[in-house]
C-alpha cells in the first residue's frame, strides 16, 4: 500500500506492528515533509480522533517523518490552532568569528617575543601596540578579553605554531641583617634579591644570576656572575645597585650565605642601605624575588647548564636587552589592598592597575624626589621610547638566540 492510499488508523497500526507493508517516500526537503504532515493530519481530522487513535497517528508520523515526539507535538498544535503548518526557521552562521587566523598568529608572535606571559600582560601589550605605538594589526586584539586569550591559545591554529614547558627552587641562615619583612609604604628603593643557579654538569658549577626587584615598582635588574664568592659578587652588587634609577633604601634577601656575610654587610653600610633578611617559616617574605626568578630568569635562560666563563657574555646581554625590556616594555600586575566592613584586608590585582615598572615609578606622587642625583625622567623617557614593546621583545629574542648560538658552538668545539 502507498501513503496516498492510507485511509484508516487501523492501517497505520498495522504498519507499526509490522503486519502491513507501506511503500512511502516522505519528501527529500523539509518543506515537503511539513506539507506531508499537514495533509495527513487534515485527512484524518486529527482534533476529532480518539485518544488511542491520536497516539497511533503520532507514532506513525514519528516513524515515517523522522521527527521527534516533541517536535511533532509542536507541529500538531500549530495545525490544530491555525489550520496550517508553517516553517519558521532562522538560518544563522552560528557564532560570528571575531578573531581571525591572522590575529591568532599575531598572538603566537606576541607570546614568542614575551615568553608566554599571563593574559593580563598580553592584553595590555596588545592595547599598547595599537594605542601607544599605532600598530593597526593589533586593532582587534586590543579589544580582546583576558579569558579569550586562553581560548585562542587552545585553538589548533595556535597549537600548530607553538608548544610550551616550565619549573622552581629554595635555601640557609646567620646573624647579619635584621629578620623582618621590609615596609616600603609606597616608596621605591626597597629591593628584594635572590640568586638563580644555572645548574651543574659533570661536577662543574654553572653561572649564577643575581635577580633584584624593587618591591613597589617591580623595577628589576638581572646580573650574572661566575661564582658567588666575594671576589665576583661584590663588584656585581655595586653595579646592580647603581643600575636602579632611584635611591636604594633597603636590601632584603633570604638567608643564603652569598648575601648574609661581612663583605656584603660592609658594602651596604658604606652605601647607607639597610639590610634585612627573611624570617623562618615565612616563605612569603621573599616571594616577589622567587616569582620573578620563575617568570623572568628561568623563562629567559631555562634550566640547562651554562658554564661559568660565559658570565661576562651573559651580563652584556642582560644590560643591553633583558633589563631594558623588563623595566620599560613588560607590564606587571600591582596589588590593591581592599578593606571590608569587618576590617579584613584582601589584596586584589586589577587589570586597570597594570603598568610597566617605569610607568609605575612615574605614577608615584612626587616621583622625582626618589631619583638618583643627575637622573631625570627626560633621560628615562628617551630609553622607554627608543623602541616599541614589540621591537624591544624582538631585540631580546634575537640577542638571546645569538647568545645561545655562541654557547652551543663553543660546546661543539670542545666536544
> Cα separations (Å) of 181 from 237, 267, 280, 283?
21, 21, 11, 11
In a domain, 7, yes or no: yes
Helix locations, 227-367, DSSP H: 230-243, 262-270, 287-292, 299-301, 311-317, 323-328, 357-363
Same domain flag for 45 and 184:
no
Confidence at 25, pLDDT banded by 50, 70, 90 = low
Same domain flag for 317 and 401:
yes
Same domain flag for 296 and 188:
yes
Q: Which residue has the higher pLDDT, 3 or 345?
A: 345
Same domain flag for 246 and 388:
yes
Same domain flag for 110 and 78:
no
Identify the pLDDT of residue 173: 45
Same domain flag for 381 and 254:
yes
Same domain flag for 192 and 312:
yes
Q: pLDDT by residue (tens digit) across 73-123?
A: 999 999 999 888 888 776 666 667 888 999 999 999 999 899 889 999 999
In a domain, 280, yes or no: yes
Same domain flag for 324 and 405:
yes
Q: pLDDT by residue (tens digit) across 309-361?
A: 899 999 999 999 999 999 999 999 998 888 888 888 888 889 998 999 999 99
In a domain, 96, yes or no: no
Same domain flag for 237 and 385:
yes
Same domain flag for 380 and 260:
yes
In a domain, 94, yes or no: no
What is the CATH number for 200? 3.30.420.10
Domain residues for the domain of 63 are 3-82
C-alpha cell belonging to residue 131: 594605542
> What is the number of domains present in the chain?
3
Give the rounded distance of the alpha carbon of 43 from its chain centre.
64
Kindly give the interhelix angle for 101-114 and 146-153, rounded to the nearest 10 degrees. 100
In a domain, 317, yes or no: yes
Same domain flag for 26 and 142:
no
Cβ–Cβ under 8 Å, residues 336 and 353: yes
Average pLDDT, the chain: 86
In a domain, 73, yes or no: yes
Amino acid at each position: 500500500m502507498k501513503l496516498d492510499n492510507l485511509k484508516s488508523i487501523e492501517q497505520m497500526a498495522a504498519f507499526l506492528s509490522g503486519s502491513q507493508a507501506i511503500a512511502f517516500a516522505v519528501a527529500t526537503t523539509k518543506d515537503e515533509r511539513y506539507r506531508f504532515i499537514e495533509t495527513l493530519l487534515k485527512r484524518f481530522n486529527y482534533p476529532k480522533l480518539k485518544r488511542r487513535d491520536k497516539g497511533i497517528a503520532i507514532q506513525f508520523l514519528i516513524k515515517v517523518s523522522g521527527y521527534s515526539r516533541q517536535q511533532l507535538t509542536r507541529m500538531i498544535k500549530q495545525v490544530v490552532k491555525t489550520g496550517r503548518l508553517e516553517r519558521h526557521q532562522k538560518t544563522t552562521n552560528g557564532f560570528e568569528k571575531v578573531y581571525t587566523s591572522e590575529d591568532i598568529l599575531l598572538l603566537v608572535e606576541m607570546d614568542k617575543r614575551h615568553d608566554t606571559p599571563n593574559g593580563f600582560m598580553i592584553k595590555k601589550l596588545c592595547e599598547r601596540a595599537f594605542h601607544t605605538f599605532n600598530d593597526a594589526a593589533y586593532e582587534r586584539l586590543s579589544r580582546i578579553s583576558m579569558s579569550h586569550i586562553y581560548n585562542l591559545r587552545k585553538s589548533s591554529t595556535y597549537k600548530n605554531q607553538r608548544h610550551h614547558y616550565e619549573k622552581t627552587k629554595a635555601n640557609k641562615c646567620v646573624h647579619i641583617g635584621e629578620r623582618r619583612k621590609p615596609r616600603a609604604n609606597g616608596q621605591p628603593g626597597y629591593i628584594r634579591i635572590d640568586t638563580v643557579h644555572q645548574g651543574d654538569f659533570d661536577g662543574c658549577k654553572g653561572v649564577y644570576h643575581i635577580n633584584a626587584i624593587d618591591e613597589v615598582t617591580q623595577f628589576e635588574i638581572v646580573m650574572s656572575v661566575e661564582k658567588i664568592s666575594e671576589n665576583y659578587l661584590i663588584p656585581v652588587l655595586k653595579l646592580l645597585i647603581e643600575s636602579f634609577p632611584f635611591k636604594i633604601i633597603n636590601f632584603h634577601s633570604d638567608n643564603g650565605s652569598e648575601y648574609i656575610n661581612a663583605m656584603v654587610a660592609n658594602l651596604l653600610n658604606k652605601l647607607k642601605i639597610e639590610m634585612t633578611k627573611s624570617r623562618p617559616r615565612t616563605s612569603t617574605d621573599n616571594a616577589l624575588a622567587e616569582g620573578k626568578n620563575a617568570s623572568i630568569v628561568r623563562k629567559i635562560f631555562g634550566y640547562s647548564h651554562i658554564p661559568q666563563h660565559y658570565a661576562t657574555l651573559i651580563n652584556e646581554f642582560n644590560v643591553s636587552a633583558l633589563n631594558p625590556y623588563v623595566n620599560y616594555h613588560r607590564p606587571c600586575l600591582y596589588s590593591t589592598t581592599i578593606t571590608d566592613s569587618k576590617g579584613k584586608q584582601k589584596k586584589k590585582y586589577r587589570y586597570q592597575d597594570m603598568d610597566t615598572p617605569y610607568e609605575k615609578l612615574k605614577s608615584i606622587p612626587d616621583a622625582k624626589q626618589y631619583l638618583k642625583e643627575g637622573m631625570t625622567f627626560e633621560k628615562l623617557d628617551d630609553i622607554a621610547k627608543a623602541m616599541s614593546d614589540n621591537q624591544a621583545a624582538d631585540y631580546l629574542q634575537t640577542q638571546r638566540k645569538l647568545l645561545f648560538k655562541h654557547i652551543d658552538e663553543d660546546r661543539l668545539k670542545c666536544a
